[in-house]
A and B are shown apart, each in its own frame.
Chain A
Amino acid sequence: MEMNDKKLQVSAIKNGTVIDHIPANSLFKVINILGLDKIETQMTVGSNFESKKLGLKAIIKITDVFFIDDDINKIALVAPEAKLNIIKDYKVVEKKVVEVPDNIKGIAKCGNPKCITNHEGIIPKFTVVNKKKVAIKCHYCEKITDSEHMKIF
């Protein structure tokens, strides 16, 4: 097999979703949030590509998987500039950008160690108080967690 074929094999998918413009250090968080560690179709993951906007970016290509908007918007917390290309028959048929939701439930942990959600088995709930530089306010302890201190389940 020639080099070119190998390259072709990893770079194009027939049907599926390409998630681009993920900050490289958020790659595994995105994988976690979308549960990509459990899918059974082909998936290609690339990381630490140079990006003018993000410094280093990552890209994920998943065969035969399409997301609903609510699911995909969950990654906005860690990859607010991510872009999705929906591929059908090797062609981009739709482009999507992620949108930071107004409320989130069960994705992030509250950054306050004294918060009840970190002490009893409670699903954390937040309202998003800043969508540009993502910051979330805990429904329980009312403390604000910014994207730097955000921990994803």
Chain B
Amino acid sequence: MENNHLVSITDYSKEEIFKILDLAADFEKNPNQNLLDNKVIATLFFEPSTRTRLSFESAISRLGGKFIGFTDSSSSSVSKGESLKDTIMTVANYSDMIVMRHPIEGSARWASEVSRVPIVNAGDGANQHPTQTLLDLYSIRKTQGTLDNLNVYFVGDLKYGRTVHSLLQAMSMFNTTFNFISPEELKIPDEYKLFLDKKGLKYYEHRDFSDIISHADIIYMTRIQRERFSDPMEYEKTKNSYVLKNDMLENTKPNMKVLHPLPRVNEIHTNVDENKKAYYFTQALNGVYTRQAIITHILGLKK
């Protein structure tokens, strides 16, 4: 069987994306299926990411599979100076698939070229995190009934937010209208605006997080991190300007949902949690179904 990897969301066509989303819907109805009996999946986390790792390990466990791996590189031979290539080639001998998170960009693509088992990228630096993108797409389709012609608002750190960039790339296939709300220092990079220009898609940039969200079908919140600011004064000034509070949701559309890749710090006030429009915890649950779908699809266990 030719190896198929999932390194970048751009590896998947529209049809493959729909295939994954349909499989995920099937797992949502019936999460415990023993499809990974006798299979071993390696989860190699060269940097810690508790949430993503637990989500994968939960998906593997619900499929009846076993997992091996490490939770950060200090507990692996990487700390002895082993190259990524050597680690991957070795672990490929012990497993049927490698799920990896690595701080260096392009590491997953490189791994996919040296591994004899499929690689699933669980995040490579600021580059790609395709399983997050697929679970975001699943959450959007599930709540909106479609992926087509939606009005999506991204809020917060749009410069470094890899989930934003990947979701933007994926949603660009569905005639989305984009709205970008961010401080000047963290605005969406020009290369993504050029990308949308080329596709002929509409987008709007805003500095104020205000009642413009009344047109939104999806609000995608992200965390603004202090270390992203060159000027700490600027951070102090902006940190409270991009916080979603419950009263701001009053005039939003009834179908609107608030998404967030988590972890949240203070960018969504806890008083939003009880609102029916808050969807981020269900979104995290969808991550398990989506990862079940990805694993079984890649291993050819689910037609």
Contact = CB atoms under 8 A, between A and B. Distances in A.
Contact of A117 (B83, B106, B125): B106
B105 A116 contact: yes
A119 B124 CA distance: 14
B191 A142 contact: no
A120 B105 contact: no
Interface string B81-97: 00111000000000000
A140 B105 contact: yes
Contact of A120 (B84, B127, B128): B84
B109 A120 contact: no
Given A140-B105, A143-B105, A120 B85 contact: yes
A115 B127 CA distance: 9
A112 B107 CA distance: 13
Contact of A142 (B8, B83, B110): B8
Given A120-B84, A120-B85, A138 B191 contact: no
A138 B85 CA distance: 19
A105 to B, nearest CB: 13
Contacts of B105: 112, 114-116, 140-143
A144 B194 CA distance: 12
Interface in B102-142: 103-107, 109-110, 124-128
Interface residues of B, number: 17
A142 B104 contact: no
B125 A114 contact: yes
Nearest to B85: A120
18 contacts: A112-B105, A114-B104, A114-B125, A115-B104, A115-B106, A116-B84, A116-B105, A116-B106, A116-B110, A120-B85, A120-B110, A140-B105, A140-B107, A141-B106, A141-B124, A142-B106, A143-B127, A144-B191
A122 B106 CA distance: 11
Interface of B: 8, 83-85, 103-107, 109-110, 124-128, 191
Nearest to B8: A142
A101 B76 CA distance: 41
A139 interface: yes
Contacts of A119: 104
Contacts of B83: 120
B191 A141 contact: no
A114 B126 contact: yes
Nearest to A112: B105
A141 B85 contact: no
Interface string A39-82: 00000000000000000000000000000000000000000000
A72 to B, nearest CB: 29
B4 to A, nearest CB: 17
B127 A141 contact: yes
Closest 5 CB pairs of A and B: A140-B106, A141-B105, A141-B106, A116-B106, A140-B109
Interface in A105-153: 110, 112, 114-117, 119-120, 122, 138-144
B8 A141 contact: no
Given A116-B104, A141-B124, A144-B191, 6 more contacts: A116-B84, A120-B84, A140-B105, A140-B109, A140-B110, A141-B106
Given A114-B104, A116-B105, A117-B106, A142 B128 contact: yes
Nearest to B109: A140
Contacts of B191: 144
A117 B85 CA distance: 12
A125 to B, nearest CB: 10
Nearest to A121: B83
Nearest to B102: A116
Contacts of B125: 114, 141
A141 to B, nearest CB: 4
Nearest to B104: A116
A116 B108 CA distance: 9
A138 B107 CA distance: 12
A143 B124 CA distance: 12
A152 to B, nearest CB: 19
B111 to A, nearest CB: 9
B8 to A, nearest CB: 7
A142 B191 CA distance: 12
